[in-house]
Amino acid sequence: MGKSAILAHYVSQNPGVAYYNVEIAGKNRAEEFLTTICTQLIEIAQHQGSKTCVEPSRNNITSNFSDSTTENSGFSSLLLQQISDRLQPKQRLIIIIYGCDRIDLNNQPRGSNIFYLPRYLPEKVYFILSRRPFLTDKSGLLIETPAQSLDLSNYPEQNRADIQEYIKSYLNSPNINHQLLTQISQDETNFMYVREILAAINEDIYPQNLQLYYQNHLEKMNLATSKQQPMALQVLNILVEEQAISIEAIAERLDADEYEIKVILDKWREFLNLESIAAEIHYSFYHASFRDWLRQQSESKF
């Protein structure tokens, strides 16, 4: 829905923000985040003229946050406070974390904040976090600071208008499929899909990057429901077959308990759309292209 485009544009227009991309290989662990962000914070503090307690080397930063509590990182919180104290009235410190759904929590104590983010923030300090859809109680955050959420799925018309503007750059390309362009401009709101399809618009197969993207989705889904594997496969097959379906209907078809079905669907929340039909929640895959790709996969690959 444009998370990447919005944040990339914001960072390009505001190069002074601290930025961290979780989706880069090897960047989904807390120690990597703390090392990178603390290095950036030290540079900001030094630019302010603050005498920080360490030089910005990996070993020194690691030694300073290795003894932090499970509720926050003491060293990064100290840096945030130091910078906050020296900000001018109209200045703000902004830290962006892109792709929070990719964070590996296996190496953090249960109940700790994702990336050991602080529960409290000093004045004029802001975090902007992005992620795919999630259950509120699965956010991985326990914070005591004001927060706001922006759900981009609530702005389909604005998003579609952005995609139509993006497509204009392809109109004069040689041998372009104008019928497909028209269809995409009218129906699509998913930037990832549009970008990859337009890059390979004259090919008859899914672009490689899109296939890898969907394969990653499937691997995450399989990993999340590994303990419910036999039933999860059955639920997956039903979702592939149906445009949208309720938990009750899935449970009836499988002769299974509705709670067990809900557990599986909750673990797949980031890949699903939820729609209220006749006062009942119906589930479907977040994008028709992903559903079509799943349909093409053999059962052995599931």
Query: What digits encode the pLDDT tens for the residues 232-288?
Result: 999 999 999 988 999 999 999 999 999 999 999 999 999 999 988 888 899 999 988
C-alpha–C-alpha distance, residues 250 and 282, integer Å:
10
Residues 166 and 262 in one domain: no
- Count: domains in the chain: 3
**125 and 30, same domain (yes or no):** yes
Strands 272-277, 280-285: pairing is antiparallel
What angle, rounded to 10 degrees, do the helices at 156-167 and 178-187 form? 160
Residues with Cβ within 8 Å of 77's Cβ and at least 6 positions away in sequence, in order, are 118
Residues contacting 179, CB < 8 A, separation 6+: none
The confidence band for 62, taking pLDDT boundaries of 50, 70 and 90, is very low
Q: What is the mean pLDDT of residues 180-206?
A: 77
Average pLDDT in the chain: 84
Which has more pLDDT, 300 or 4? 4
Same domain, 41 and 96: yes
189 and 269 share one domain: no
Q: Name the domain boundary from 183, 204, 225.
A: 204
Residues 120 and 46 in one domain: yes
Q: Which domain holds residue 268?
A: 209-301
Q: How many residues make up the chain in this entry?
A: 302
Per-residue pLDDT tens digits for 18-42: 999 998 888 999 989 999 999 999 9
Question: Exposed/middle/buried for 66, CB within 10 Å: 0-12, 13-18, 19+?
Answer: exposed
Let me know if 77 is exposed, middle or buried by CB neighbors in 10 A (0-12, 13-18, 19+). Answer: buried
**pLDDT for 81 beyond 90:** yes
pLDDT interval class at 63 (50, 70, 90): very low
Check pLDDT > 60 for residue 46. Answer: yes
- Distances in Å between the alpha carbon of 25 and those of 19, 22, 99? 16, 8, 12
Residues 142, 251: one domain? no
Q: What is the pTM of this model?
A: 0.76
197 and 227, same domain (yes or no): no
Q: Do residues 8 and 145 share a domain?
A: yes
Q: Are residues 119 and 161 in the same domain?
A: no
Whether 143 and 159 share a structural domain: no
Upper half-sphere CA count for residue 206 (Cβ side, 13 Å):
19
Q: pLDDT at position 42, please? A: 93
Q: Are residues 85 and 43 in the same domain?
A: yes
The pLDDT, as a whole number, for residue 231 is 94
